[in-house]
Structure 1
């Protein structure tokens, strides 16, 4: 978190607004807005004040028109929320001028306690919860469907329905969770009045009045027709599919164009069955209609869509949009009192690794190159299934929880959901000490994170000894990443400050993991690995490779007890570390432990990789591939290092880090705690990865590493967390 994030950008904290709202604190900042926690001095109740900073530079002759637009939308929101508790309530609206002359319109909203749906799904996925079945999805989202039908009956559309705009109050897995819609009308007012802020074009900012991850074809191009209630139907269908997939979004892409193509592709509609979720033919047919490319082929309103979906799931129970009891009270358990089978979590579509020349090396079971927002990559991009927020702030994310990265709080501080310029306030939930709050899918929140000097002082007061089997990594500063042009994903190099921590001397071995498994605390690895199939390869080719690579899995293999355990998913690695009262390292911790502060290129220094430094791809790897009848993927050096697969941990003492740890590069890639996100240039303190995503960051290269680039400690790559491959293992860290 940067120092700038801790400041109040509008300078109004501690002031009284409109003679009745005391501004207590800034709780979040995004590309469109800044949100404050305030107290209504008359009612003595907390409220959220949303200040639309994006309109601060509106020409003076357009300000009255803009304010009228917000008044109209505020009146609409107040009217709708009075008819449905599932729509966040608008309490007031107004304008003010800051001390430095910025004209700011604002809305006053009710203060909510709970979590946005994107965070609920993220936390459940990290915890390994099974995806919801269709009847459970209906129960969770029915209040939203009812509220939207009320609006649609008046021919009013939201136009930015997404998980970040669905707020969950109560236990999401309980008998009666309640969901609310956030930011009703904001997308419309932004779209209608974008032209009034002519100076935005000069600053390079653009207003995107919807979130492309959930955009309907007509939102990308008016050639498909006008937006309306049918647009919300499309987005709601995508959300239901995402819930059925355990939090994996339905659309794949890494920029606006890719989402536009996916939204309008008539050959592949994002229905449950298309994405591997087993549903009945009747349910699939409902989604096919709801997700039709042409608006005229879809259900005209949310009520029509929800009634059809309800009938497909519960043919004997009629749905009444006038009450929320029709579904939620009857489907907290599956029909017949039993849970239906759930679909397994699908993974990405491609496994490619970049070469310095810009070519592509196909590495089976290896991490797949993510296609996320950021600089153009040197290797072909694989589709990305995670959310890509549009029109948001470029400020750093606040650090998030070590493993779960869920919502959390310190004392009674509150946070907001910030995505695509839309947000509402809600109170955060407490997590273990040491975590800091974050919300929304893309934007940071205010935090009481200590300064760099405070971090150093805290480090000095901590113990200086680590448990047996771990080495000490003293806290300090380093430049994370690299500015070398050979690989864009490690750019830019940026300063990071870390506290002291302990890291495992070596990668977790097969014998160590077996101890956990034997005690019933860790899930036993499958005999054969499983990872996403390479795009363009046949099922037969993929199965042949899986069978061949199965012999390289180390768990339960005689003679490989001291080899790193592999063929384990991120969830299994996370579970083992927790069993040991440890955790997986963040990307920053992993890279710092591998290279320290002096900017060295490799753990041992700047000398290029050579024999005796690591277990990487040499003659032995090429010989193994040839013996298996597989396509050769290339070698790093023209020697035989003695290990076609993994090597016993610590077999390459020349490769020790400056802190004394073994095998930070080579042998196996290592899972980290972080979801992947592109780097930013600002200084960070104890940074964490994205609050959500579909790929976990991995580090270090493996025994099949045929390119020197892969073995640089700054190299970062990614894999879906449920993949199990022979080239990925892990090690743990712990705080002092």
Structure 2
């Protein structure tokens, strides 16, 4: 074999694989695999190419058989990753021959930017940040637990759960980070195939190896039993204790020391054993999860997570195990704290609010993921406690010195092999030592082209909230309203949603540039049944007063009196789009089936701008028949209110005014629901009415405030009670 620079162990940088993947640079390598950054030439998107170098050592006569097994396991990963956004997504699979004649099977994985949990924990330790509380750890790792339960329900175990295999997208201590499981052990799962084990025996490599610091007793010695989902439970419990303690749990200098610690029945690594104050109920859950004998542990991640939720939030609704079909981004939960109970929330924002951590609501600018640097280094100043804004608890805070994240590829947690590999990569480089951009591994920096490519942002634009892809029951089976029936399961991809409804001032900016049509001074909509022409005209003339465009003092009110095409045009001008009806409902309620965006409590004044006595008073003054009142109080706004005026009504993702203020146009043509499970539904292909959501300032019925409530209107209607917000793909 020819000598080759360390930056390209397979000699394929600059080549094109399968006529569509251009290999741009090395990301990292381990005992089993080499990972490259590539460009999908058709989609023009970056991807990660994971090359299973170890399989090149198999005998030539066994390659077809091994490739069949590899494809089968690749199909398994693709199936799992299609059911949850919390497992790195598998895109493609294939084989190629290197310039040196090596036969290499490969897998194409999604490209992610963010950090692995081990990098985050290491940075927080050296900066002296306070360890997380148990509810914070639960909230951060909830998508991982949900993903693992989906796998465990099929009796599939990861077998190498560790912080390096948990990837964080977004601010780790912010309101809406999202976690993913990396390296779902394709090589280790393949080792269970007799043909593969036989073919690779001559290499002398144990491809079912694990990371000793997070190993379970049965991984150190099979005398304890077989590995399985309970093995992942043990590892996850160790990670949780590490997060609560602020330091590694099993920490020895060699394999034997770690094995002794892990298997000692008289010294279990529970929170209290390290002086972490937790309740007796929480301690008991960890004691069971960390039992030496697999039979004494929780049999799956879902059982462990549900028990831990019950111990942490005894007054809450509990943790619901995810379904095993469709895409899931995390499970719902009920939260309660010493400060009283709260409705089921399921988000990290809600968890911190429940525990009184002082995090508060997300800023108006939306989730911040930091700015990736071309060098991948962390600015040392950003890691000092002095750089944190008052009231924040970690480097993810949004003060002036907020952490500057570097890009990293999800597929890099591929080492999983020998103890030597573990010793080399167990600690990420400190912030003062630059790490390669796009990599979580220490080592030689890649070429400048790779560094520049790795800075491609994946965060939502300012003013938008990240809504992780997930699964929920859209609609309702409540017989109170026919149009929202039946409840049916929907799976959605990741997307962004505006934090607030588009304002009159924002729309005027588009109009002033000649990009958006100026709204008419008077609204116009079809006459409703039972209304005379005179009554309809009187109402239309009166309602002209409530149109917000171009009126001084109303710049921060939602723009209204715009038809569907005008809303659609504005969103496209912003390089966005109108949300689908399913996206709107999921952004409003999440996956936990709540009755209102803020939870299950009806709320009242302070939660939304809806039909109070101030609106009926305006109707009487205008000579109109008063509408029904939702509540007898005066919320201070006869019609629209400035966006964000009702912070109690924020959604779990931090967005305002999802109910009340104005109805919101969606992208979909209206159609009645079907009971079928659907993925990324788009509504009817054509129709005469557009679906709209959210209720308006004139809402006098409590049903209007339910995120499942839906209605429709002809697309050319313009009404003071209809506005919109935009969405965006990532």
User: Which is greater in Rg?
Assistant: 2
Tell me the TM-score normalized by structure 2. 0.48
Tell me the TM-score normalized by structure 1. 0.48
